[in-house]
Structure 1
Amino acid sequence: MSKEEIKIPKATLKRLPLYYRFVDTLYNSNVDRVSSKELSEGLQIDSATIRRDFSYFGELGKKGYGYNVAYLLNFFKTTLQQDMITKVAIIGVGNLGTALVNYNFTVSDRMKIEAAFDADPAVIGKHIGKIEVQDIERFEQIIEAQDIQIVILTVPGTAAQSLANRVTKSGIKGILNFTPERLTVPSGVHVHHIDLGIELQSLIFFMKNH
């Protein structure tokens, strides 16, 4: 069964990187096999959900045996294209943008911020680590030359939609949006919204009610 033959739920796809990181940790700890119960305990995801998620991709394990860790790792690496480096650009190099460039996805050596853009002349030309902040006017030229695949937006909300329009016209298919704006994009373009205010409100709610 392939992803082309059945529509994988978005919730399942969002959990795949969690599975990958956990299985990678097991592999590096010389663990040979793991059960859905052990995966459940380690990830805090119920085992029925894990088994259902895995079932979309065929027989990944055997009843009574569990899952071969090396096989799972290779599967997730291939499924998530972790054997390829995903190149990322960031637009908006204020405090948050600078922090993200400095962090530069050290959680994974398969994703890397390769370019940073801003419209402020006081910021353009500055270096954050090894990355020089480029003028946004050079955006299309640079992302094509560097084969950028994903863009992170950390700009004021008032500029978010116009920049999203520009980003999608350039052929970018993935946007990670740190602005409070809900972006309108063409079909085929995927946007993940990261609203820190909402995340904090949710955290406070759960702290008070659990």
Structure 2
Amino acid sequence: MNPVNPAASPRRDARRNHERLLAEARVLFAERGIDAPLDELATRAGVGAGTVYRHFPTRDALVRELYDLGVGDLRDLAPEILAAETGWRSVELYLERLAAWLANSPYVPMVMRRMAEIDPDYRPGTEFAEPIDGLVARAQAEGSLRADVTAVDLSVLVDMLGSLGQYGGTYLPYWRRQLAIVLDGLRARADLTPLPGAGLDFDSFHDMSHRKGPGSAPEA
């Protein structure tokens, strides 16, 4: 018989509460914004207010963990995307997987903006710049992706497709219609209209994407 560990059950309970708080915070922030009352989070999670603050002493601590979990989600998606059999398939998977994740996670843009305020020098997303550049170069070298498209162009398209999540779950079964339109526009062919201007660099896009929102005016 295994010896009883009296500390195991409290630890399991604490982990369960932690996961429940994160899950409910995602829903609460999506519904009511990043400044929704944390007392309501406690009610939704079925715990006391003190439990919330034991796990997340400040709202910023909760936001940071949600942000880091999002970055972890992207890291988990990367192997499948980068290991695709062709460069074009990598492009398809990049748009499909990331846009689906974003459409199903409408709280993410708010978390990104708040993290930019909390810790503007914290930029783990920049680790994805080189791999995305690589998949773009691979698809262009095989002649499947139009030559004037950049990695940032693809990232903006992910944002655009992911924003369809604002319509709620009712629209989620249909967003792949827009994905198909976007993919057709990315395919290399002889009769393309050249894209106007130069593409945005990744660092500027990273900063812009973490500032976006109704109150974000362009800098002079």
State TM-score, norm by structure 1. Answer: 0.27
Identify the structure with bigger relative contact order (alpha carbons < 8 Å, sequence gap 6+).
2
Quick check: which one's helix share is greater? 2
State TM-score, norm by structure 2. Answer: 0.26
